[in-house]
Amino acid sequence: MTQQALTEEHVPLYSRISISAADAAIAILQTVVGGGALTYYYTRVAGLDEGKAGLVWLIFGIWNAINDPLFGFISDRTKSNLGRRIPYIRYGAPIIALGFILFWINFSNTQAVLFWQMLISLFIYDTLYTAIATSIYIMPFEMAVSNKARSTIFIWKIIFMIPPNVFPFVLASIQPGPGEDPTNYRWFMIGLAAVVCLIVIASTFFYKEKHFQQEEVQPPFFTAIKESFKNVPFLIFLVSSFTIIYAQTNLLQGVAYYFDEIIKANQLPIYIGLAVGIVLGIFLWVRQRDRWGVKRCLLTWLALFSIGCFWLLIFGKIALLGMIGFFFIGIGFSGGMYLIPIMNGDVVDYDEERTGLRREGMYAGINSLVTKPAISIAQSAFLAIIASAGYMQNLPKGQQPASVHNGILAAWVLIPGLLLAISFLATLAYPLSGAKWDETKKKIAALHEEKEKRFLEEHGYRFVK
């Protein structure tokens, strides 16, 4: 039998763009649901009691304790002609769109109907969000085997994640308030779900899995969980992961209230500060990652993000000074977008060196077990704090008494600032850095090379270091 000539592994440009577009599309839906726009609509526009809305998020958080790790385990063990991840992405897209659309259908404005509509829609939406977002998150590891080829995907994913981070701030300026007609807003959301569905489905025809990880034998469910929690760097990672999701959720949720009551006009400086912070932040982290190392970048990122929150707590009532805080917030958003996946990659690499297996699905599931409650807690805590400050949800935009403004600022940035400071302290103990980790990385690289070489050559590719 004639041996096939070996060539360097390459991920086509259309594949890189397609998976990145799908990632960004799903992220836009999640910024609406998890970023506060959904809660704002149900409490301020539809009229759901804030306490009942908070209860929805707390009940929903219990489901996530089961849903996310279970799916990570199932996806790692899935076997199909399409691969382990693509079936969930392609066939889950219509269902997540349906769950999202159900949020915006006007069944009734009674408290009971609104409560159950929000809760049931959340269950439908988030079950599929877990399946799709987790699959997309780890698709680069399925699309390519060599680290060189994978890196070309990550660059495009970073670029495409800018719009989802900016979208909630734009949405905050157009969403209706109490007493305003929400019809056009509802149709906009329904149309958004349809567009996202089409983008996600279409994307799955332009990339494919290598089936490399599908061939590995995975451990039983509880053994997989136990091994994950033996990974000490992963435990430290979870602190930062919880913090960034809580902070992003809280900041995106609170910006609507901030624009409604505190910065009612002249919001342009805020957008400029945020945009400049995101762009410069990405440039900073990409440029300095190898020079400073991941740990130093993480510490710098957490410190700057925390400073931005406390700056807004003190100076957030003045638009021009608030712009400075948003500049640091933008750097924080870009850091969470770029550094957290890299930190996650190191944690999974470390686990592979310990166990000999790549278990991205299980790690993604356990991570979601932590981050999804962060979304629920952030939503509930924000509503509880502004209610205790005297916020009246039925008043039109801009009509809250001045005494409530400090409560809005505290609910918005105080807890994220404190959590970021705590994460900074926890990251000081992060062990995956320095000469010892560099040596471990060499061992992991050697393990990768052996796996890559064997698999690539079996499938007709030339292995390139």
Q: How do residues 427-465 score in pLDDT, each as one tens digit?
A: 999 998 888 887 877 777 677 677 767 766 776 666 565
pLDDT band at 320 (very low <50, low <70, confident <90, very high): confident
Question: At residue 211, does pLDDT exceed 60?
Answer: no
| Whole-number pLDDT of residue 219 | 63
Distance of alpha carbon 238 from the chain centroid? 13
Distance of alpha carbon 250 from the chain centroid? 13
Question: At residue 214, does pLDDT exceed 60?
Answer: no
| Secondary structure percentages of the chain, helix, strand, coil, to 5 | 80, 0, 20
- Please state, in angstroms and as integers, the Cα–Cα distance from residue 262 to each residue in 250, 256, 304, following that order: 17, 10, 24
Q: What percent of the chain has pLDDT over 90?
A: 37
Distance of alpha carbon 334 from the chain centroid? 12
| Whole-number pLDDT of residue 428 | 96
Counting other chains too, the contacts that 75-78 makes at CB distance below 8 Å and 24 or more residues apart are 75/131, 75/134, 75/135, 75/361, 75/365, 76/213, 76/218, 76/224, 76/359, 76/360, 76/361, 76/362, 77/218, 78/214
What is the helix (H) or strand (E) element at residue 8, kind and residue range?
strand 7-8
| Whole-number pLDDT of residue 4 | 43
> 369 or 113, which is more confident?
113
pLDDT band at 297 (very low <50, low <70, confident <90, very high): very high
Q: Could you give the angle at the alpha carbon of 390 between the alpha carbons of 406 and 257, nearest 5°?
A: 55
| Whole-number pLDDT of residue 184 | 93
Which of 173-182, 185-194, 395-404 shows the highest mean pLDDT?
185-194
| Whole-number pLDDT of residue 65 | 64
Q: Where on the phi/psi map is residue 151: left (φ > 0), alpha (ψ -120 to 50), or beta?
A: alpha
Q: Which pTM does this prediction carry?
A: 0.74
pLDDT band at 1 (very low <50, low <70, confident <90, very high): very low
Q: How do residues 148-171 score in pLDDT, each as one tens digit?
A: 677 788 778 878 888 887 787 788
Q: How do residues 405-428 score in pLDDT, each as one tens digit?
A: 999 999 999 999 999 999 999 999
Question: At residue 39, does pLDDT exceed 70?
Answer: yes
Give the span between the Cα atoms of 377 and 444, in whole angstroms. 37
| Whole-number pLDDT of residue 5 | 46
| Whole-number pLDDT of residue 444 | 73
| Whole-number pLDDT of residue 146 | 61
Report the CATH architecture of 11-206+218-432: Up-down Bundle (1.20)
> 287 or 41, which is more confident?
41
| Whole-number pLDDT of residue 163 | 85
161, HSE (Cβ side, Cα atoms, 13 Å): 21
pLDDT band at 287 (very low <50, low <70, confident <90, very high): confident
